[in-house]
Amino acid sequence: MSMRILAVLALTLSGSVSVVAPPADLVSHVDPFIGTTRGGNTWPGATRPFGMIAWSPTASNGDQTSAPASNGYDYNVTRLRGFSLTHVNGAGCAPGAAGDVPILPFTGAVDSSPTADTKDAKYVATWSHANETAAPGRYTVTLDDGVRTDLAVTTRAGVGELDFPAGKEANLLFRTSNSLNGSEDAEITIDPATRTVSGSVLTGGFCGRRGNGGGDSNPNRRSYYRLHFSATFDSAFTGTGTWVNSTLTPGGTTATGGEGYLTGANRAGRGSGGWVSFEPGADVRMRVGISYVSKENAAANRDAEIPGGTTADAVALQGRAAWNTELDRIRVAGGTEARTTAFYTAVYHSLMQPQTMNDVDGRYLGADMRVHSLRPGQKAVYGTFSGWDQYRAQIQLLGLLRPDVAGDMATSMLDFAAQNNGVWDRWLHLGAPTHVMTGDPAAPTLATWYALGVRNFDTTAALNSLVRQATVQNPDALSDAGCPGQCLGQRPTLNTYLALKYAANDICHCWGGAAETLENSLADFSLAMWAQRAGRSDLYRQFLPRGDYWRNTFNPATGYQQARRADGSWQPGFTPNTDVGFAQGSSATYTWMVPQDVSGLATLMGGRDAAATRLDGFFTSGYDPTNEPGIHAPWLYNGLGKPWKTQETVRRLADTVYGTGPGGLPGNDDLGTMSSWYVFAAMGMFPQVPGRAEMLLGSPLFTRVELRRSNGVTLTVTSNTTETYVQSARLDGSALSRSWLPESFVQRGGTVSFTLGGTPNQSWGTAPRDH
């Protein structure tokens, strides 16, 4: 049946037939509320693909210095502090990142400083989910006080239509200093003559409160960007005012003052902002632009993308079209309605990032907090890279769908590193280094994109720079600042690591020595693969052995990865559940983090059958599907000669820990990582190892999947049914006995066809040559 017909039939979970919306409006399958509770840390507001602006509610839990969930929104909390202009999707480190400039419609009298309302007792609004709707690019809610708010956005600007009820005051509060993590400074200027409100907030602070970030020495309690905004209105102001800390100035038009980066009493009651008033019952249209360069650029972005007179309906329609263009890069059919919703929402969450950073004039804020310009030929500067998370699934999906965006992101990361004294940081918020997590994820990220055929970046300069980071110890490598959770040094204690061939847990200046060793081994393997493709045999020979350093933290006496000291001894007190030597995971989880050498790991465990038996036990007693170190583990059965166990394990996880509704994600989405895992699972394939482009096979959730890469390559997956187990497979018409696809499949395109059934075929994909 053609994918282009007006409707396609899909089997539901119960086996009945339902109608799925046509591919032309795949947005109808997206539910932005998925992941907004149960720790998913997503949010339902308006944003475009790779958007700079993300206009969404920041809720209140009764503490002005915190939020009910990371990134500001939890489905179970319906008290509004304001609609903030920036957000990050699914990041942890409560209260998350960004959440800049909450804007609150308020129908009461502004007769005291909103900053002095430290418990959000007065300057707050409530709402019911019955009066709230969200779709990609648009968010609408009618608050309990009667204000209807309709928000729609472009890449760098938004239009808000606010309909105030008759008989009540009509005020709009700009809480300029109240970013999620606080602020160093903020300023606001109100110009009644031009009906304009503009200002900025100097902020940053991502993970600056984290308990394992070094306490008062946490290097992230600092500012690393200034967000500028410029808003103009179609209605005249009937009043203005400002506040600084507890001082209210009715009639005021300027104010400055930040809040600091602490929490509770150490920050409460500090900050600044302003408000404008309108006639009671006014219907107000606001156009707002943002920029990380200047307020003038914020206004230019606004006027270029949302000219005067543009309605929310018009912008939302354009946004819907933009999202449909991206979603239509993967067409699916033959799945249940629930799986289709989960799938397209996962694609939506995966393509919220990276975030556009350059203004319409091509300028952007660099990692050094200076203004830079696009390179010739570069279409956009992209930022925000949750490296430790994303390199395991999201960057592969991005590289498949949008190799053009991946290449521009690679260029951006190369330039951010150059602006950061040549250091590639493991977690970028915008372009700024935050040092969060462990390892060197930029290396496997760019190596993977290169393997996927991405070439629109300076591949030689990038490889050389990453090789330098992996071979020349940088000045911060011996620093304990931010340790253990966001150690300032990248490739910490590198000289000692290279001498010992593992990260010594007692002197590594890192989160955990065993985790650092595993991460670096995988990064170095990726660099070796890149070097080999690039014809750099010298680098290939240098880095390939380093990909085996994981063996030096595998303790044969226990059969697990284990923290090891500089003198060669093992960290005492070991149990498989210990997190000593690891980062957000246990030894039981990290022991499997060797996708580059599954056969070598199996040998150390006593052979493939013994390793598979251990993996069985891991999934019945110790597997954590909510965090990244183990998200590849369900696919390891392929390499152990038991692909039917991959099929049943992946299917069980896809149908039980993922789903629809606000609790439909198993944990932090981590900038699309967990969502990308689901997309791959639903397609019936998963990247075998970072730095390469082979795909491990599972079983698809749809009878047809067609992925059209932006470079013109098409990947097609078909199956006779959506049963769990592979009975046989064909690749481009020829019988396929392997449980994986060659790199040529994603590089040049092809069709893989499954015959699925309800019982395991324990012969397919099990011969030694096939796994």
Q: What is the largest CA-CA distance in the chain?
A: 79
Structure confidence at residue 277 (pLDDT): 98
Read off φ and ψ for residue 168, nearest 5 degrees. -130, 160
pLDDT at 4 over 60: no
What per-residue confidence (pLDDT) applies to 95?
87
3-state SS class at 582: coil
Pick the closest to residue 179 from 124, 82, 102 (CA basis).
Answer: 102
Whether the predicted pLDDT of 221 surpasses 90 = no
User: Each residue of 361-411: pLDDT tens digit?
Assistant: 999 999 999 999 999 999 999 999 999 999 999 999 999 999 999 999 999
Helix 643-656 crosses helix 673-683 at what angle (to 10 degrees)? 130
- Alpha-carbon span 699 to 720, nearest angstrom: 11
* pLDDT reported for residue 611: 98
Q: Can you tell me the mean pLDDT for 661-687?
A: 97
Handedness of CA 407, 412, 418, 422 (dihedral sign): negative
Spell out the residues 6+ positions from residue 329 whose beta carbon is closer than 8 angstroms to its own.
401, 402, 707, 708, 709, 710
pLDDT of residue 17: 29
- Angle at CA 218, nearest 5°, toward 215 and 222? 135
pLDDT level of residue 768 (50, 70, 90 thresholds):
confident
pLDDT (mean) for 717-738: 98
pLDDT tier for residue 8 given thresholds of 50, 70 and 90? very low
* Of 161, 174, 165, 159, the residue nearest 58 (C-alpha): 174
What integer best gives the mean pLDDT of the chain?
95
Q: Does the structure show a pLDDT above 60 at 57? A: yes
Q: Using omega within 30 degrees of 0 as the cis cutoff, is the peptide bond preceding 441 cis?
A: no
**How is 431-492 classified by DSSP, letter by letter?**
TEE---SSS-THHHHHHHHHHTT--SS-HHHHHHHHHHHHHS--TTTT--TTTTTT-S-SST
pTM: 0.96
- Alpha-carbon gap, residue 387 to 505, rounded angstroms: 22
Q: According to the 3-state scheme, what is the secondary structure of 637-672?
A: HHHHCCHHHHHHHHHHHHHHCCCCCCCCCCCCCCCC
What is residue 516's DSSP assignment?
H
Burial per residue of 472-492, b for 16 or more beta-carbon CB atoms within 10 angstroms, e otherwise: ebbebbbbebbbbbbbbbbbb
DSSP letter for 122, please.
Answer: S
Q: Is 568 left (phi over 0), alpha (psi -120 to 50) or beta?
A: left
Q: Is 12's pLDDT higher than 60?
A: no
Q: pLDDT tens for residues 166-208?
A: 999 999 999 999 999 999 999 999 999 999 999 999 999 998 7
The DSSP annotation for 269-338 comes to: T--EEEEEEE-TT-EEEEEEEEESS-HHHHHHHHHHHS-TT--HHHHHHHHHHHHHHHHTTEEEESS-HH
695, containing H or E segment:
strand 695-697
Read off the tokens for 460.
């030689």
Task: State pLDDT tens for residues 438-484.
Answer: 999 999 999 999 999 999 999 999 999 999 999 999 999 999 999 99
Binning pLDDT at 50, 70 and 90, where does residue 217 land? low
∠ CA(718), CA(625), CA(329), 5° rounding? Answer: 35
Dihedral pair phi/psi, residue 537, rounded to 5°: -65, -30
Q: Which tokens belong to 6?
A: 């007006």
Residue closest to 343 by CA, chosen among 60, 616, 704, 731:
704
92 secondary structure, DSSP code = -
Closest Cα partner for 436 from 668, 207, 671?
207
**Confidence (pLDDT) at 262:** 86
Q: How far apart are the first and last CA of the chain?
A: 33
pLDDT at residue 96 greater than cutoff 90: no
For residue 214, the model assigns a pLDDT of 66
Residue that the structure tokens 């999906």 belong to? 397
As a whole number of angstroms, the distance between CA 413 and CA 407 comes to 10
Please compute the mean of the pLDDT values over residues 72-83 and round it to a whole number. Answer: 97
Whole-angstrom Cα distance, residue 655 to residue 668?
18
Q: Which amino acid is at 16?
A: S
The pLDDT of residue 215 is 66
What is the Cα–Cα distance from 90 to 47, expressed in whole angstroms?
14
Task: Provide the CB-side half-sphere exposure for 455 (13 A, CA).
Answer: 5
Residue-wise pLDDT for 324-369, tens only, equals 999 999 999 999 999 999 999 999 999 999 999 999 999 999 999 9
Average pLDDT over residues 733-737: 98
Separation CA 321–CA 319 (nearest Å):
5
Under 8 Å CB-to-CB from 448, ≥6 apart: which residues?
A: 391, 395, 396, 399, 526, 687, 690, 691, 692, 693
pLDDT band at 216 (very low <50, low <70, confident <90, very high): low
Residue 690 preceded by cis peptide, ω within 30: no
Overall average pLDDT of the 524-537 stretch: 98
Calpha distance 356→293 (Å, rounded): 13
Query: What is the three-class DSSP state of 683?
Result: helix
Share of the chain above pLDDT 70, in %: 96
Residues 6+ apart with CB under 8 A from 649: 619, 634, 637
| pLDDT for res 622 | 78
Confidence (pLDDT) at 249:
98
Strands 138-143 and 554-555: unpaired
Q: How far apart are CA 302 and CA 350, in angstroms?
A: 26
Listed in sequence order, the residues at least 6 apart from 756 whose beta carbon sits closer than 8 Å to its beta carbon are 699, 719, 720, 721, 722, 723, 724, 725, 726, 727
pLDDT at 11: 26
| Average pLDDT, integer, range 518-543 | 98
Q: Which tokens sit at 160?
A: 């808000």
Task: Give the HSE-up count for residue 336: Cα atoms under 13 Å, Cβ half-sphere.
Answer: 14
What percent of the chain shows pLDDT beyond 90?
92
Question: Which positions ≥6 away from 44 have C-beta within 8 Å?
Answer: 32, 33, 36, 56, 57, 73, 132, 134, 139
Q: Tens digit of pLDDT for each residue in 146-158?
A: 999 999 999 999 9
* Whether the bond into 403 is cis, omega within 30 of 0: no
